[in-house]
Structure 1
Amino acid sequence: MDILLIAGLWLDGSAWNGVVPALEALGHRPVPVTLPGQGDGSASATLDDQVAAVLSAVDAASGRPMVVGHSAACTLAWLAADARPERVAKVALVGGFPAADGRPYADFFELEDGAMPFPGWAPFEGPDSADLGEEARRDFAAAAIPVPAGVAEGVVRLKDERRFDVPVLVVCPEFTPAQAREWIAAGDVPELAKAGHVDFADIDSGHWPMITQPAGLARLLAAATPEP
């Protein structure tokens, strides 16, 4: 199966370098998606540009792909299900949840010179980064790509309620499946509260399992692929 891989903020497709060969070994075709403004040098990219890149990858996929979003990009994966409910076989959400219609995409940190730079590790101390060593932290920060303001402040627009029929896997790294279920039941994740088919999977990692547990994440994703 084609498995589209969408990295979160500040990351490009190379974030999946450890996951790709492991998925290939398991018989799948992984496709890391290069997001405008996060890997192609376009500082003026918008959220619409990123959505268009994801949809282009969906349209180019063989058969019906599984779309994997990490962190903020969980919203991009969900937007793909909204725009192509008949084409997306499943959505996997790694360490995040989709934003609701009308909400900003990722206005989490202050902008500088028209972009949102990586804010350093202070906001991520604790379970998020506990499994990242000093070298991995330095490499991440050095490679981090500031997210264009047009992406970070873009407004999420969801239109097709058929998205709720697309099966969802919530991959739980720095939080547990029990916590995820509680947040959904409490109304904190309205999109998933309406989804008809939601499964949960735990992985023993921090917020970036593609870096710290690539083989384990690949096995988990491969096991979750729907039957062709």
Structure 2
Amino acid sequence: MADFVLVAGAWLGSWAWDEVVPPLRAAGHGTHPLTLSGLAERREVPAGQQTHVRDVVDEIERRDLRDVVLVGHSYSGIPVGQAAERIGDRLTRVVFVDSEVPVDGGSFASGWWQGQAAFEAQLADNGGHWAPLGAADLDGQGLADGQIARLVEGSTPHPGGTLTEPAVLSRPLGELPATYVKCLLDGPEPNDTVASLLTSDHWRLVTMDTGHWPMFSQPAELARVLLAEVA
């Protein structure tokens, strides 16, 4: 049986996986949804990018988890990708759910579509945090009204240091056993960095016909996707 370590993206905590966890557990697997420092119930804990990497590694080592399927959604693909290479033979596979991926020396901010300076200005205008999305920002993502309300109401400001501190990789990310889950309502193709990684024999692509938050819009289908990784 595998141990799934589930890490949600910006603004979210372990609660985001509440509807994904039951089918994984029903199939006999360990499930460990994780709240990163500075978010949700841990929002008062200071955090930078490497804090989040340590959060993931420490959870796995503290619980002495083996056969780990490490799942990173959205922003959290960046710390999860770094943690995956640091847990050695504990890792079975890393699954990136419509996520960013770490680039050595790069950060979330450095890949921002409007440029790093524009993104850092957003953080400065919000006291050093990335402000959560509002309901209108979630249109077209396959979410029902109740799902939008739950996502918005549960979100907390995201600590800016985690978004501007650079990633640190010791070997090419393409060497990791990985699956990339592309959510098609958020764009039909992976970004160029992911597309390059998908040329590796160690990586494979799975698509879902939903938006960027499948743990809310299609939790049962996302659970089936994850279970297929250990079938």
**Fold similarity call, TM over 0.5:** yes
- Residue number in structure 2 paired with 1:188: 193
| 1:47 to 2:57 alignment | no
Note if contact 2:186-2:211 (Cα within 8 Å) is conserved in structure 1.
no
- Residue 189 of structure 2 aligns to a residue in which SS? helix
| CA RMSD of superposed structures (Å) | 2.4
- Residue 179 of structure 2 aligns to a residue in which SS? strand
Q: Which amino acid in 2 is paired with 1:172?
A: K
Note if contact 1:2-1:61 (Cα within 8 Å) is conserved in structure 2.
no
| 1:96 to 2:96 alignment | no
How big is the shift at 1:58?
A: 2.3
- Residue number in structure 1 paired with 2:167: 156
| 1:69 to 2:72 alignment | yes
TM-score, length of structure 1 as denominator length: 0.84
- Residue 148 of structure 2 aligns to a residue in which SS? helix
What whole-Å deviation, never above 9, does each CA across 1:79-116 have from its counterpart, x for those lacking one? 11222233211100101230311111357551101211
Q: Once superposed, which parts of structure 1, at least 4 consecutive aligned residues long, lie more than 6 Å away? A: none
Note if contact 1:4-1:31 (Cα within 8 Å) is conserved in structure 2.
yes
- Residue 215 of structure 1 aligns to a residue in which SS? helix
| 1:168 to 2:178 alignment | yes
| 1:87 to 2:90 alignment | yes
Aligned partners of 1:136, 1:177: CA distance in 2, in Å? Answer: 20
Note if contact 2:13-2:36 (Cα within 8 Å) is conserved in structure 1.
yes
- Residue number in structure 2 paired with 1:204: 209
> Could you list the runs of 5+ residues in structure 1 that have no partner in the other structure?
none
How big is the shift at 1:204?
A: 2.1
Aligned partners of 1:209, 1:73: CA distance in 2, in Å? Answer: 14
TM-score, length of structure 2 as denominator length: 0.83
Q: Which amino acid in 1 is paired with 2:228?
A: A
Identity %: 29
Note if contact 1:5-1:68 (Cα within 8 Å) is conserved in structure 2.
yes
Residue correspondences, number: 217
